Amino acid sequence: MPKPNQLHFGKVAVLMGGSSAEREISLKSGSAILTALKESNVHAEAIDVSIDVFEKLQAGKYERAFIALHGPLGEDGCIQGGLEVIGMPYSGSGVMASSICMNKLMTKQIWHGCGIPTPKYRILSDDLSEDELLVELGLPMIFKPVSQGSSIGMTKVNCKAEIASAWASALDFEEAVIAEQWIEGPEYTVAILGGIALPVIRLETPRTFYDYDAKYQSNDTQYHCPCGLSEELEQQIQTRALQAFDATEATGWGRVDVMLDKDNQPWFLEVNTVPGMTDQSLVPMAAKAKNISFNELVIKILQTSFKEDSETLANQFSSPVSGKCSAA
């Protein structure tokens, strides 16, 4: 595999910002990525994505794109599809996988078909009674907009009286909402890079769950890496996370979120195909545990824009969990 300075990245556009509810986080991620690329002597420039982004890319004679967009229109296959049309290579997953992973419902349906454990759920509709929902999922449960990231619009429901307000909060962001069985236990996340699973991180917050404030604003959130699990259990979770990632056809890099119940049974929640890259972000934290600096990580992610090379990154450093896994 060529060293980064031997690769012809050319002029790179770091796509950031956009119009989703995660705009501010995207701007932070993009700025950190841009700095890392420049420090690595890559010719990179920032583009705050707007309706004329593809015209800007062509007029600027950019040769590839580093996608640092979070949320709808940036992480859901839309920007990826446009880049395909103009023939510009880009980092991370393709159109289909991006669309699948941005949609929590679609992801869960695929996992259910593959036998990958994911919490029970119901699609909310006007003809679904609250009593029926309680019978199926029990209490507590959590309401989630289907296609939002960063836990935006999510609410834990502890009693029947909270259902209406939780649904209304989710509807502020989109019409498609699911209610999901609440899994009681610690939350973990598994970063994926070039076909391998990086060390598992355990998330700890005094808040009800790992919500937007816990992710980006709170000083009380703790991140544990090593995660505190036995080596055997951590490898089991890594292997299953790779299966969950592969089942959606995601490629290059990403992050898989998982809960562990009292019986040490993992329950997979979602795949993030463009995780945050801020100073509080989880993928850089997991990479650091493998002695991969932030700048090195950014170069490895950009290297996934060479699609023929994106699955060979695993050969650059050792891991007990690597390679493609078929969901079973």
> Distance of CA 309 to CAs 7, 88, 301, Å?
11, 16, 11
Measured between its terminal Cα atoms, the distance across the chain in Å is 31
pLDDT (0 to 100) of residue 208: 58
pLDDT (0 to 100) of residue 317: 43
The reply to whether 131 belongs to the active site is: no
205 neighbors 221 (Cβ within 8 angstroms):
yes
Catalytic residue among 187, 246, 257, 296: 257
The reply to whether 162 belongs to the active site is: no
Q: Which fold has domain 120-181?
A: Dna Ligase; domain 1 (3.30.1490)
pLDDT (0 to 100) of residue 206: 62
pLDDT (0 to 100) of residue 221: 80
What stretches in the chain show pLDDT beneath 50? 1-2, 4-6, 211, 214-215, 309-328
> Distance of CA 139 to CAs 44, 154, 179, Å?
49, 15, 11
Residue found under tokens 């349906």:
109
Q: Where in the chain is the domain with CATH 3.40.50.20?
A: 4-92
Structure token digits, residue 177:
């909402």
Q: Where in the chain is the domain with CATH 3.30.1490.20?
A: 120-181
The reply to whether 90 belongs to the active site is: no
194 neighbors 253 (Cβ within 8 angstroms):
yes
DSSP state of 198: P
Catalytic residue among 92, 255, 296, 305: 255
Catalytic residue among 20, 151, 272, 322: 272
What does the chain come to in residues? 328
CATH architecture for residues 187-316? 2-Layer Sandwich (3.30)
Q: Where in the chain is the domain with CATH 3.30.470.20?
A: 187-316
Catalytic residue among 270, 281, 296, 322: 270
pLDDT (0 to 100) of residue 322: 41
CA distance 84 to 217: 35
Specify the pairing of strand 12-16 against strand 44-48. parallel
CA distance 198 to 190: 6
pLDDT (0 to 100) of residue 20: 85
Catalytic residue among 150, 281, 310, 322: 150
CA distance 10 to 7: 9
Interacting residues of 100 by C-beta distance below 8 A, sequence separation 6+: 106, 107, 110, 248, 249, 250
The reply to whether 255 belongs to the active site is: yes
Catalytic residue among 62, 216, 234, 246: 216
pLDDT (0 to 100) of residue 278: 82
The reply to whether 216 belongs to the active site is: yes
- Decide which of 3.30.70.920, 3.20.20.70, 3.40.1280.10, 3.40.50.20 is the CATH code for 4-92: 3.40.50.20
Catalytic residue among 246, 276, 296, 310: 276
CA distance 103 to 155: 18
pLDDT tens column, 249-291: 999 999 999 999 999 999 999 999 999 998 779 999 999 999 9
Catalytic residue among 17, 18, 20, 22: 22
